[in-house]
């Protein structure tokens, strides 16, 4: 065999460079092949495609027609949105446009609404500072978000005479502003409380562990409504009768405690994911418990749980809608109040109101979810190294 090769190379032509790669046949690339691979690869798949196309054909155009093409965009009252010549128009966006300020501010005094806008701007700055990983001085951002912003918001929204801001009772707060305040307080309060509870649950001291487990399992075992009812009706009973607690504050306490129990379990999962060597290494360095947690354990544990923490925040944000059941005037309650107003009584008013609420909630939640996903990708890239 060897001799043959040698003799062949001496006489015949042998290609020195590899042949050029031919493009794949036309039946394997291009849009047609994609369609065949993804939609019509087998009889069952063809059937699925037909069914799915039918479902899409039924639902998507009618959605778009209702929300955009047949919608009423301008008008002063119900006349714009009632049926004309027996044809009911689509979404009554005129209603949302007219009531937009009510949805955002509730009954907040009109001449004071700039304060709410200021709160939104300050909040947006804080959120951007925290979320943008390359932002300068994120340590100051942390202090701003966790300390400065809550205190400033309290005075800006509630008012204080020594600042020259007219006091506004929380009973007049309403709409999206209340939803954001409650969600913000829940977000700011639940993380530190949740971390403490998670550490307590993993503590070696039996009494601390017992109380943490009791609290976490109790809160996670009951629905949020019962917690809110409890905060609403039982909290005043438990306090001396010369102390009255604001209704909004009661709900905040309920939501904050509820969210922190869920947060505790998320943080605990992160703590458990850390290899034991990290604890042992920290101890070998002679660090005390709190130093070890602050410098070694928590930075790593929280980093891997960021996606889950954000998911808990999404749940918290959606849960703020339950406030309407205990009589807090949140965003959903503003929609509920406006949609039954006789001035806008039209067949599509309710659906339009709910569609608008859904879009707003979706934007917030989907934004958070996308951030969580991006973080997850970033973290998995770091792990792959």
Partner 1 sequence: MSSVDAPKLGGTGGDEKPHVAFWNDPEKRGYLFQALLFVVVGYLVYAAATNAIDNLTKQKIATGFDFWNNTAGFDIGQRLIPYETTSSYGRAFWVGLVNTLLVAGIGIIFATMLGFIIGVARLSKNFLVNKLAALYVEVIRNTPLLLQLLFWYNAVLKALPEVRDSVAMPGGFFLNNRGLFMPEPVFGANFSWVTWTLAAGLMAYFAYGRWARKKQERTGQQSPVLLVGLGLVILLPLLAFFGAGQPLSFNIPDLGRFNIRGGVQIYPEFVALLMGLVIYTAAFIAEVVRAGIQAVSKGQTEAAYALGLRPGPTLDLVVIPQAMRVIIPPLTSQYLNLTKNSSLAVAVGYPDLVQVFMGTVLNQTGQAVEVIAITMAVYLTISLFTSLVMNWYNSRKALVER
Query: Binding string, 46-65, against partner 1, x = CB under 8 A?
Result: --xx--xx-xx---------
| Three-state SS sequence of 257-286 | HHHHHHHHHHHHHHHHHCCHHHHHHHHHCC
The torsion angles phi and psi of 149, rounded to 5 degrees, stand at: -60, -50
Strand, coil or helix: 1: coil
CA distances from 163 to 107, 110, 121, 153 (A): 22, 19, 19, 13
CA distance 366 to 73: 26
The partner residues of 84 in beta bridges, in order of sequence, read 87
Find the binding residues for partner 1 in span 57-116 (CB under 8 A): none
Using CB under 8 A as the binding rule, whether residue 281 contacts partner 1 is answered as no
Using CB under 8 A as the binding rule, whether residue 234 contacts partner 1 is answered as yes
Instruction: Look up residue 126 and give its two tokens.
Output: 């804080």
CA distance 174 to 103: 8
What minimum distance in Å lies between the beta carbon of 366 and partner 1? 5
CA distance 321 to 189: 18
Q: Which stretch binds partner 1 (CB under 8 A): 112-120, 159-167, 295-303, 362-370?
A: 362-370
Using CB under 8 A as the binding rule, whether residue 13 contacts partner 1 is answered as no
Using CB under 8 A as the binding rule, whether residue 121 contacts partner 1 is answered as no
Using CB under 8 A as the binding rule, whether residue 38 contacts partner 1 is answered as yes
Using CB under 8 A as the binding rule, whether residue 289 contacts partner 1 is answered as yes
CA distances from 270 to 108, 146, 224, 248, 296 (A): 42, 22, 24, 32, 13
The binder of partner 1 chosen from 130, 188, 230, 375 (CB under 8 A): 230
Find tokens 């020594």 and name the residue: 162
What minimum distance in Å lies between the beta carbon of 56 and partner 1? 6
| Rounded (5°) CA angle 108-109-111 | 130
Using CB under 8 A as the binding rule, whether residue 290 contacts partner 1 is answered as yes
Query: Binding string, 160-199, against partner 1, x = CB under 8 A?
Result: ----------------------------------------
What is the distance, to the nearest Å, from the Cα of residue 38 to the centroid of all Cα atoms in its chain?
33
The binder of partner 1 chosen from 81, 187, 322, 372 (CB under 8 A): 322
Query: Binding string, 239-278, against partner 1, x = CB under 8 A?
Result: xxx-------------------------------------
Using CB under 8 A as the binding rule, whether residue 222 contacts partner 1 is answered as yes
The binder of partner 1 chosen from 7, 9, 41, 101 (CB under 8 A): 41
Dihedral sign for Cα 298, 304, 308, 309, please. positive
**In which element (H, E) is residue 326 found?**
none
Q: Is 229 exposed, middle or buried (0-12, 13-18, 19+ CB in 10 A)?
A: middle
The binder of partner 1 chosen from 233, 294, 343, 374 (CB under 8 A): 233
Instruction: Catalog residues that contact partner 1 under the rule CB under 8 A.
Output: 37-39, 41, 45, 48-49, 52-53, 55-56, 203-208, 211, 218, 220-226, 229-230, 233-234, 236-241, 283, 286, 288-290, 314, 318-319, 321-322, 324-325, 332, 336, 339, 347, 350-351, 354, 357-358, 361-362, 365-366, 369
């Amino acid at each position: 065999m060897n001799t043959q090769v040698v003799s062949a190379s001496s006489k015949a032509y042998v290609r020195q460079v590899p042949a050029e790669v031919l493009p794949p046949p036309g039946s394997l690339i291009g849009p047609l092949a994609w369609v065949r691979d993804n939609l019509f690869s087998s009889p069952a798949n063809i059937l699925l495609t037909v069914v799915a196309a039918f479902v899409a054909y039924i639902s998507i155009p009618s959605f778009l027609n209702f929300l955009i093409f047949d919608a009423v965009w301008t008008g002063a009252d119900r006349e714009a949105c009632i049926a004309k010549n027996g044809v009911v128009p689509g979404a009554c966006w005129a209603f949302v446009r007219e009531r937009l300020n009510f949805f955002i501010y509730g009954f907040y005094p009109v001449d004071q609404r700039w304060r709410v806008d200021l709160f939104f701007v300050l909040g947006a700055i804080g959120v951007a500072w925290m979320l943008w990983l390359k932002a300068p001085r994120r340590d100051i951002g942390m202090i701003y978000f966790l300390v400065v912003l809550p205190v400033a918001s309290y005075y800006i929204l509630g008012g204080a005479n020594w600042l020259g801001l007219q006091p506004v009772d929380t009973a007049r707060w309403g709409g999206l502003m209340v939803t954001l305040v409650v969600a913000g307080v829940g977000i700011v309060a639940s993380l530190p409380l949740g971390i403490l509870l998670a550490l307590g649950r993993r503590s070696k001291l039996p009494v601390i562990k017992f109380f943490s487990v009791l609290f976490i399992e109790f809160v996670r075992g009951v629905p949020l409504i019962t917690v809110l009812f409890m905060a609403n009706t039982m909290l005043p009973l438990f306090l001396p009768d010369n102390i009255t607690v604001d209704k909004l504050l009661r709900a905040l306490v309920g939501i904050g405690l509820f969210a922190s129990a869920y947060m505790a379990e998320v943080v605990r999962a992160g703590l458990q994911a850390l290899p034991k060597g990290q604890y042992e290494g920290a101890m070998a360095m002679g660090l005390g418990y709190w130093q070890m947690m602050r410098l070694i354990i928590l930075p790593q544990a929280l980093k891997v749980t960021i996606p889950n923490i954000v998911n808990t925040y999404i749940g918290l944000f959606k849960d703020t809608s339950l406030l309407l059941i205990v009589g807090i005037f949140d965003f959903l309650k503003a929609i509920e109040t406006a949609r039954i107003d006789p001035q806008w009584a039209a067949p599509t008013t309710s659906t339009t109101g709910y569609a608008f609420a859904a879009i707003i909630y979706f934007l917030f939640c989907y934004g958070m979810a996308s951030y969580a996903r991006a973080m997850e990708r970033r973290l998995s890239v770091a792990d792959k190294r």
